[in-house]
Amino acid sequence: MTLSGGKAHQFGARELRDALGCFATGVIVVTGVDSDGCLIGVTVNSFASVSLDPPLVSFCLGKSLRSRERIATTKGFALNVLREDQGCLSVQFAAEEIDKWHNIDYRRGIHAAPVIEPNLAVFQCLKYAEFECGDHVIIIGRVEAFEHDDKEAPLIFHRGGYRQLL
Ligand SMILES: Cc1cc2nc3c(=O)[nH]c(=O)nc-3n(C[C@H](O)[C@H](O)[C@H](O)COP(=O)(O)O)c2cc1C
């Protein structure tokens, strides 16, 4: 067991990240089209369901990400939930300075946002709200359409690595 902190902020970012990594999540690729018509794709695990009525979901993006300004220009986006066999897509969409869309199959969805195929689930969203929060922005989407494949298992991210359920 590791204990950090006590008085405000007596810990480093690394220690905090290690503790946060205990929380297992799924993995999502946020996709959209920027104002130049270029495809956006970025891996996130900060997804959360927010509200059922209206149907709202959220994710957080680092302010320093190149994708952050590009997402800001979109009217909507798609949140593509990855399957257990799609760890390589997570890596590809988390990389910088590469063609993230090389060899990726997709169809166009609402707001022209790419829907990655295959997928475990997809939530197509209208951008609903955006809040600055520390070094990230919280982006809220209003779900306009969704699909899911109940026969497939999710990709899991835990303690900095990819895992599978059982
Ligand atoms: C599993 C995983 C989860 C990630 N989750 C987030 C996240 O929630 N928010 C975020 O800003 N970056 C997250 N990242 C990092 C971004 O994917 C990465 O910095 C981004 O794709 C860089 O591309 P860009 O510079 O083109 O925006 C995550 C990376 C991985 C591998």
Query: Distance, CA 86 to ligand 1 centroid (Å)?
Result: 16
Return the pLDDT at 118. 98
**Domain contains 122:** yes
b/e code 18-52 from CB counts within 10 Å (16+ = b)? eeeeeeebebbbbbbbeeeeebbbbbbbebeebee
pLDDT digits (tens, 9 = 90+) for 55-102: 999 999 999 999 999 999 999 999 999 999 999 999 999 999 889 999
**Domain contains 116:** yes
Q: Structural domain of residue 37, as residue ranges? A: 25-163
Q: What is the CATH number of the domain that holds 83?
A: 2.30.110.10
Query: Distance, CA 7 to ligand 1 centroid (Å)?
Result: 30
pLDDT digits (tens, 9 = 90+) for 105-132: 999 999 999 999 999 999 999 999 999 9
**Domain contains 5:** no
**Domain contains 130:** yes
**Domain contains 13:** no
**Domain contains 114:** yes
Domain count for the chain, please give it.
Answer: 1
Query: Distance, CA 88 to ligand 1 centroid (Å)?
Result: 14
158 beta partners: 161
**Domain contains 2:** no
Read off the tokens for 40: 């956006």
**Domain contains 64:** yes
Is residue 154 within 8 A of residue 83, CB to CB? The reply is yes
- Read off the pTM: 0.95
Closest atom, ligand 1, to C-alpha of 68: 27
